[in-house]
């Protein structure tokens, strides 16, 4: 198993550009999430999904869109990048309610 | 909404000694799960230990153990026989077992940086 795969690992965007961060898992996990990590603020939940076709907003959803058309994939779309979205982004997946999440290796995004 | 608080931004310990990292949480739910994650400089998030709220027995994983006090809403991590490889950022996290879609959410504390001195 490859686990949770995030691409790209690094990205530089100009303000106003759009892009999609890719996340795929091969463990047949129902639950998937996107987090952003900023210094001194821990990991904050952006969006999450409890199954294909079901998504919900987390703590900091503004400026981001998600969809979950398959169990394996959970892409995160930045609609119009802003410098405030400079961060490290983590995708994670989980098998059941009681298990912890398995994390991808992260994407470092810089918006200039 | 649930909140998780780690009041120790930084902690340090001598190699082979024991250190305890603190975590408190706020919830009105009775059924939930608690986790400790480790994030070394590589940035990878690694699950260290898991506790089920309905189990009174404290979880243990080798040198890592927790002190779960449900009434006090406290969930501390004890690392015994500390090793240089334990140096990392440690995060406490909460996951609901409840209804709706809330059980999909994992809520993190701000993290504690642990330094291990040789």
- CB of B110 within 8 A of CB of B9? yes
Query: Cα–Cα distances in Å, from B116 out to A73, A102, B41, B46?
Result: 38, 26, 13, 18
- The answer to whether the Cβ–Cβ distance between B43 and A50 falls below 8 Å is no
Angstrom distance (rounded) from CA B91 to CA B107:
10
Looking at residue A99, its pLDDT comes to 87
The alpha carbon of residue B117 is apart from the nearest alpha carbon of chain A, in Å, by: 23
pLDDT, tens only, A12-65: 999 999 999 999 999 999 999 999 999 877 899 999 999 999 999 999 999 999
Angstrom distance (rounded) from CA A74 to CA B104:
14
- CB of A104 within 8 A of CB of A91? yes
Answer whether A101 touches B (CB < 8 Å).
yes
Closest-CA residue of B relative to A50 is B104
Angstrom distance (rounded) from CA A108 to CA B110:
19
Residues of chain B with pLDDT under 50: none
Looking at residue B111, its pLDDT comes to 96
Average pLDDT value for chain A:
95
Residues above pLDDT 70, as percent of chain A: 100
Closest-CA residue of A relative to B47 is A100
Q: Which among B62, B88, B70, B67 is positioned nearest to B32, based on CA atoms? A: B70
Answer whether A98 touches B (CB < 8 Å).
yes
Answer whether A105 touches B (CB < 8 Å).
yes
Tell me what the mean pLDDT of segment A52-80 comes to.
96
Q: Which of B50, B107, B109 sits opposite A100 (nearest CB)?
A: B50
- CB of B67 within 8 A of CB of B78? yes
Backbone angles phi, psi at A39, to 5 degrees: -55, 130
Looking at residue A41, its pLDDT comes to 79
């Amino acid at each position: 198993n490859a686990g949770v795969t995030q691409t790209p690992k690094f990205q530089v965007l100009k303000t106003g550009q759009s892009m999609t961060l890719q996340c795929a898992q091969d463990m047949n996990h129902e639950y998937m999430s996107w987090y952003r990590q900023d210094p001194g603020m821990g990991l904050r939940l952006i969006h999450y999904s409890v199954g294909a076709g079901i998504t919900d907003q987390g703590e900091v959803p503004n400026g981001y869109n998600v969809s979950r058309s398959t169990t394996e994939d959970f892409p995160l779309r930045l609609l119009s990048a802003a410098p405030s979205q400079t961060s490290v982004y983590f995708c994670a997946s989980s098998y059941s309610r009681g298990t912890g999440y398995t994390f991808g290796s992260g994407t470092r995004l810089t918006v200039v | 909404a649930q909140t998780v608080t780690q009041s120790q931004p930084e902690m340090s310990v001598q190699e082979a000694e024991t250190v305890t990292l603190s975590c408190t949480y706020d919830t009105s739910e009775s059924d939930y799960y608690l986790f400790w994650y480790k994030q070394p400089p590589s940035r990878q998030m690694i699950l260290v230990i898991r506790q089920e709220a309905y189990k009174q027995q404290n979880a243990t994983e080798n040198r890592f153990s927790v002190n779960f006090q449900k009434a006090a809403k406290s969930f501390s991590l004890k690392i015994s026989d500390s090793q240089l490889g334990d140096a990392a950022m440690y995060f406490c996290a909460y996951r609901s077992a409840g209804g709706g879609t809330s059980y999909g959410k994992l809520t993190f504390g701000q993290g504690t940086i642990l330094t291990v001195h040789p």
